[in-house]
Amino acid sequence: MKVKPPIPVTVLTGYLGAGKTTLLNHILTQNHGYKCAIIINEFGVVSIDNQLVVGVDEEIVELNNGCICCRVRGDLVKSLTELFKKQKRFDYVLIETTGLADPGPVAQTFFMPELSKMLRLDGIVTVVDARHVEKELGDGPEAAAQIAFADVLLLNKTDLVSTEELARIEARIRKMNPLVKIHRTMRSQIEIGKILDTKARDLQSPLLLNEAHAHAPEEKHHHHGPECEEDCEHDHEHHEHGHEHSHDDKVGSFHILEERPLDMKKTESWLGELLQTMGADIYRSKGILYVKAQPKRIVFQGVQMMFDAQPERFWNTGEKRQSQLVFIGRELNEKKIRSGLESCIAE
């Protein structure tokens, strides 16, 4: 019996009024070929968002009694499993969160054994209101967390701000999250292929950083990788070192490049301890590990307390062997994390 591959899930998030429902409607009116199951999250008992979603025959499951990312997280799991029990045909799941949702616990849900065989988190898409995002970042932690967890970010309502303002906002976002792909949009209009089935959370997906400090210290040039889309007109900052620290208020990111091989047991122990002591503040982690006596690259990614790692491909002949790690989170103790990795160097 052939095992069915897990169904991809895209989480749509963003601050209040950023354009999430507009994006959802846009997705549902496009000829993308997917049969979608929709989960719309509401705070109140009256479904407002559902009235705004265009009339299509997708399966809609509403959670009207609270936020899926906190006290009704169990309802999200229940709703997802119920979708399979109903045996209705669908090959994609879209989850729209409330404007004040923290995407972290939602992402962690898909590490659960009862769901991971049926569903895979494809990516988190965050919609940002270009006109108001800087104020929102100062108002509270929600907007910063939504940016930090994002795999794809729609910088929306770009017609309401100047080119100079857009460049400044993009630079600020990239310092907070060097993994995110940014697309400038108006009315949340975007090519579906840029937000669905991106495999952004696949362990096998390449580690692409859109900050120049992702490169080795000896590399003085900046490489425009595939993450630089044609609709992302921005000037990249140029840095010479792989350890520049980005920080925006309380949310920041940093990248570690280590050319010495790691001891596997020490590294596993360190990562386990790191999750226990700092896991809640490490919103995202991702990387490639160069382990002594291991012919394959070890790839990993983490979402707060949840962590996954596995051997990937063999190191190519002539390929520079080195570990690369990216951490994104809230008030991270960069010095302690760097020191911890240092203790994992193989003897």
Using alpha carbons, select from 227, 224, 176, 182 the residue that is nearest to residue 206.
227
Domains in the chain: boundaries? 7-194, 244-342
pLDDT by residue, tens only, the chain of 347 residues? 567 889 999 999 999 889 998 998 888 888 888 888 888 776 544 455 556 666 555 666 655 544 444 444 457 787 788 777 776 678 888 888 877 778 888 888 888 887 888 899 999 999 999 999 999 998 888 899 999 999 999 999 999 999 999 999 999 999 999 999 999 999 999 999 999 999 998 877 767 776 444 443 333 333 333 333 334 333 333 333 333 333 346 898 999 999 999 999 999 899 888 888 888 899 999 999 999 999 999 998 888 878 888 898 999 888 899 999 999 999 999 999 999 999 999 98
Burial degree of 329 (CB within 10 A; 0-12, 13-18, 19+): buried
**Under a CB-based contact definition with an 8 Å cutoff, are residues 92 and 121 in contact?**
no
* Overall residue count recorded for the chain in this entry: 347
Q: Which of 145, 152, 44 is nearest to 102 (CA)?
A: 145
Residue recorded with tokens 């936020």: 67
| Helix-helix angle 163-176:142-149, to 10 degrees | 80
DSSP tag of 235: P
* pTM confidence score: 0.81
Q: What does each C-alpha distance from 131 to 127, 158, 160, 168, 272 come to in angstroms?
A: 12, 8, 6, 12, 41
Q: Look at residues 137, 281, 195 and name the one whose alpha carbon lies nearest to residue 11.
A: 195
Cα-Cα-Cα-Cα torsion 113, 115, 116, 120, nearest 10 degrees, comes to -160
Ramachandran class of 91: left when φ > 0, alpha when ψ lies in -120 to 50, beta otherwise: alpha
Q: What is the pLDDT of residue 292?
A: 94
- Distance (Å, whole) CA 41 – CA 49: 8
Q: What pLDDT does 58 receive?
A: 62
Q: So what's the pLDDT on residue 171?
A: 93
Fold of the CATH domain 7-194: Rossmann fold (3.40.50)
* Distance, CA of 25 to CA of 170 (rounded, Å): 25
pLDDT of residue 35: 85
Query: DSSP characters for 265-325?
Result: HHHHHHHHHHHHHHTTTEEEEEEEE-BTT-SEEEEEEEETTEEEEEEEEEPPTTPPP-EEE
- The token pair that represents 100 in the structure block: 């004040």
Task: With CA atoms as reference, report the closest residue to 157 among 15, 321, 269, 256.
Answer: 15
What does the buried/exposed string (b/e) look like for 199-230 if buried means 16 or more CB atoms within 10 Å of the residue's CB? ebbeeeeeeebbbbbbbeeeeeeeeeeeeeee
Dihedral (Cα; 232, 154, 330, 102), 10-degree rounding: -170
- φ/ψ of 109, rounded to 5, equals -55, -35
| Residues 155, 176: Cα–Cα separation, whole Å | 14
pLDDT of the residue at 307: 80
Distance CA 11, CA 268 (A): 30
- For the domain covering 244-342, report its CATH number: 3.30.1220.10
